[in-house]
Chain A
């Protein structure tokens, strides 16, 4: 029987022993559910730089909360003070006891209740310092705690319009968490009041307490309460949102080993699901929430329903899939992919039959083995000026191109995929793939970001796939003679599928800057808004869709700009409905400027044998 023991440590000990068992049990289960190749990846990367990267990330995200700092510094500080503060409290505490007892293997609870067990004041400077820093850390945590409590009642101070509505276990867990440090303060202070082992915070506070309550008698009560609350909190972790604290660590490692969400619900999905801290940052960033769209559910609620197996198809289908939440999620969960997986589970068995496509082949007699295949995409056919511009440019560049979907077009399949019908989508993709491969071209250019994304991710064509913005950025050059100042002032709208979806932010801008001046707006690139036309959302009502389209058009309607440019036929249509300014696809602008001669086409000799540089 150790020198320092008291009954009140039991609750804490219970918590600290049971928790790891619970976690272990679940983590192993999920780990088993990982796919074979995922296991493979782990085996290969375990003893590599990846692990170190993971450590760094864990430190930056789980303790410092870098991503949250980016969203809002105050919110970041709140999380940091609690996480990092507590972490240090444990580390320094351990260090203190170590120094005190010179015994590494002291009881697990000993550091936690150190001041109870070691009542005599400290002589050594170092111990005094450690003691002080413990008080300081407690204070540090308190600042965060204050913010957290304030946020509950007035979220805007941390930059959040809306905060998550929590379940009962979550609320219980939350309260215990909040009580931990006040009780620790009370326990240590009251003890200090008669032992004098406190520091700058606990000592005076304890003496003050002693003036109003019989501190000596009370202190043991507080220690009991402290231990109990601590124990309860630890026990509730696996059943509450705080599961994210341990789980995120594992998630970060797995991610660093190159494991991704993929198209199936796997153990990795479980880790992702449990890593969601319900912080609710995704609620605010969601335009559906911003426009109060009926029946929409932001990711935090989507994941909640998914965790508790009550997810309805309607709920998972009412989302634009714009990926804004993906981009901002502090835990970097691949949210849209998670939703897509669920859509697949709901709809993959839907009937489809494209046998009518048979061996369809668009007749293209004269153009044999083209350099370039042009695939306009269904939506481009609804704004033909884009197509005309591209044709004009191909002709000007004197390229041997094949307009694949000039007359009869087969859909790229992404819309089917977005609706969860993966199998059906695959069938369409096969038909298109055959056409593309058989054409023998080395480069595919498309005008539709939706097609682009799917060509890149799902087709595996083995040829260059370019969105026309990339293609044009490549072949267009400013003519020296062109006067810089002549350029239009343009606001550029990043299409979801091209920007967040495919990471194409720069090429369109490089291109536009060759003949115009870009006007920056605060919601662009990663933060760009969804135009509202999205095929990702199946059920949103037309009037609600219009709300989003209008709001986005308003944001793009920067007073300095003469014109709004985008590079997606769908975005163009959506924005044009409500913007006061002309809305142009970059292809149209290029074509127009070619005519004015402000820009020229420059083509280097490449393997995909495109002609020499032409001036005209």
Chain B
């Protein structure tokens, strides 16, 4: 086909009808507090890794809930598991266990 100098771009919007939510299901099966997040952002604010990178636990949580898991491995690999986010969370979300299970899901892909 000829080169047009431009391409048809996929929509940037989150499509909750076509997105794959299996990761979200896997996490909530193993950590009920996964969906208790109210997106206050205190975790990201206190995050040790976030001092060095744009790592954002709040966003990671919501993105998974919306089935947007591209580049997740990259993001989650930045976490130091120090647990400050969990201490600070006003809703008692087990952030460490969530991240732990995201990593588990990613390291044995397909098994969740």
Contacts and interface: CB of A to CB of B under 8 A. Distances in A.
Contact of B80 (A428, A543, A573): A428
A535 B103 CA distance: 17
B96 A538 contact: yes
Contacts, number: 95
Interface string B63-95: 000000000011011111111100110001110
B104 interface: yes
A542 B84 contact: no
A462 interface: no
Majority secondary structure, B binding face: helix
Contact size class for B? Answer: 20 to 34
Interface in A394-452: 407-411, 413, 415-416, 419, 421, 424, 428
A32 interface: no
Contacts of B103: 347, 350-351, 421
Contact of B87 (A314, A349, A543, A573): A573
B33 A542 contact: yes
Contacts of A410: 48, 80
A43 B55 CA distance: 52
Main secondary structure, interface of A, reads: loop
A28 interface: no
B42 to A, nearest CB: 11
B35 interface: no
Interface in A368-398: 378-379, 381-382
Nearest to B97: A538
Nearest to A350: B103
A360 B52 CA distance: 9
A378 B52 contact: no
B81 A421 contact: yes
B87 A382 contact: yes
A201 to B, nearest CB: 60
Contacts of B33: 541-542
Contacts of A99: none
Interface in B7-56: 30-33, 46, 48-49, 51-53
Nearest to A573: B87
A356 B54 CA distance: 10
Most buried by A among B33, B78, B82: B82
Given A379-B84, A421-B81, A538-B96, A356 B104 contact: no
Interface residues of A, number: 40
B106 interface: yes
A419 B100 contact: yes
Given A351-B106, A352-B77, A357-B52, A382 B92 contact: no
A378 B48 contact: yes
Given A356-B52, A415-B82, A419-B100, A382 B107 contact: no
A533 B74 contact: no
A547 to B, nearest CB: 13
A313 interface: yes
A351 B77 contact: yes
A203 B46 CA distance: 79
B59 to A, nearest CB: 17
Given A350-B107, A541-B32, A541-B94, A416 B80 contact: yes
A573 B82 CA distance: 15
Contact of B104 (A313, A354, A407, A415): A313
A416 B77 contact: no
Given A356-B52, A538-B96, A539-B94, A349 B107 contact: yes
Nearest to B98: A538
Interface in A543-572: 543, 570
Contacts of B46: 382
B84 A381 contact: yes
A499 B73 CA distance: 37
Contacts of B97: 317, 538-539
Given A410-B48, A541-B92, 8 more contacts: A354-B80, A378-B48, A408-B52, A416-B81, A535-B96, A538-B96, A540-B94, A542-B33
Interface of B: 30-33, 46, 48-49, 51-53, 73-74, 76-84, 87-88, 92-94, 96-97, 100, 103-104, 106-107
15 contacts: A350-B107, A354-B80, A356-B53, A356-B78, A378-B83, A379-B82, A407-B51, A410-B80, A415-B82, A419-B96, A424-B81, A533-B87, A535-B83, A539-B31, A570-B87
Q: Which 5 A-B pairs give the minimum distances between C-beta atoms?
A: A542-B92, A353-B77, A411-B82, A350-B103, A411-B80
Interface of A: 313-314, 317, 346-347, 349-354, 356-357, 360, 378-379, 381-382, 407-411, 413, 415-416, 419, 421, 424, 428, 533, 535, 538-543, 570, 573
